[in-house]
Amino acid sequence: MPVSGRNGGHFTAGLAVSRQSPERKAEARERIAGAAADLNARGMRVFVRINSATELARQDVVASVGKAVFGLVVPKVDTPAQLAEHEAQIARAEADAGLIEGRTRLIALLETPKSIFHALSIAESSSRLIAIGFGVEDYAATIGLPPEPQSMAFAAQTVATAAHAAGIEAIGLPGSIAEFRDMDALRRIALMARQLGFTGSGCIHPAQVPIFNEAFGVSEQEAAEAKEVIEAYERARIEGLGAIAIRGRVIDIPIYERAMRTIQRAEHSAT
């Protein structure tokens, strides 16, 4: 599960123990260390998606926490207390591995109606969290609706808004990620995700990466317009003006600050 996002200067690779068939989970755990080391050596940040079941998650954490693994993806997080249980296991695994406590970062996936109503409390619950994600397929299955944008928009935007309130990343789409042949449809969903406040998305196929880089990235035109706003507003401040107009559009502090964030994202993505 690679992750593409507008705020990331690093390509992130994912190893998913939870996606293995039950009889192959033990084999997958044995391969984590080697696979993570290989990906890490290529300059990728490695996340391991663990299982949601308590005992399986415990085994996954023990097998995953290490120098080559940047973080864990925790599925089906419904409450802060549930995430805290994982954190306690992670802290013990870090101590056993000789790592500083807190080194292993987390992405929590919100995939049920209950999780949506706990979104902000989950997002604010841990210093390890760098993102929360919307699990559209599981959420749609839980409420018995297809993963179409009109059905998923409320839950998706709730997750994105909670992430922004907590100052972390918002990963996900308001529609299915399973389709990797219809790139036009995927692009429309990705652009809608950005409008809802998401900053990136997981991928299940390499062909999706350019689509998401385009949707969540900063285009040359956006960067140029942001730079124009910044320069004009800063000149106006020197002249003692609180607001100005550019081509019929009023530019004041909120628009200036948004332009500054756009430039920061563009610079960060280029590193």
Q: Which of the four pLDDT bands, split at 50, 70 and 90, describes residue 70?
A: very high
Across 64-92, average pLDDT: 95
Give the domain extent around 237: 220-270
Same domain, 152 and 29: yes
Q: Report H helices in 97-240.
A: 113-117, 119-123, 136-143, 149-166, 183-196, 208-216, 220-238
Q: Please report which helix (H) or strand (E) contains residue 90, including its range.
A: helix 80-96
Q: Which two tokens stand for residue 233?
A: 């507003």
Return d(Cα 122, Cα 158) in angstroms, integer: 12
Same domain, 49 and 70: yes
267 vs 230: which has the higher pLDDT: 230
Same domain, 14 and 115: yes
Same domain, 209 and 235: no
Same domain, 189 and 121: yes
Return d(Cα 46, Cα 32) in angstroms, integer: 10
Q: Which of the four pLDDT bands, split at 50, 70 and 90, describes residue 270?
A: low
On average, the pLDDT of the chain sits at 87
If we measure between CA atoms, which residue out of 90, 261, 193, 119 comes closest to residue 202? Answer: 193
Same domain, 110 and 212: yes
Across 72-99, average pLDDT: 96
Same domain, 145 and 193: yes
The pLDDT > 70 percentage for the chain reads 91
Same domain, 208 and 266: no
Sign of CA dihedral 229, 232, 235, 237: negative
Q: Which of the four pLDDT bands, split at 50, 70 and 90, describes residue 269?
A: low
113-161 tens-digit pLDDT: 999 999 999 999 999 999 999 999 999 999 999 999 999 999 999 999 9
- The pLDDT, as a whole number, for residue 1 is 45
Number of domains in the chain: 2
- The pLDDT, as a whole number, for residue 4 is 47
Same domain, 187 and 242: no
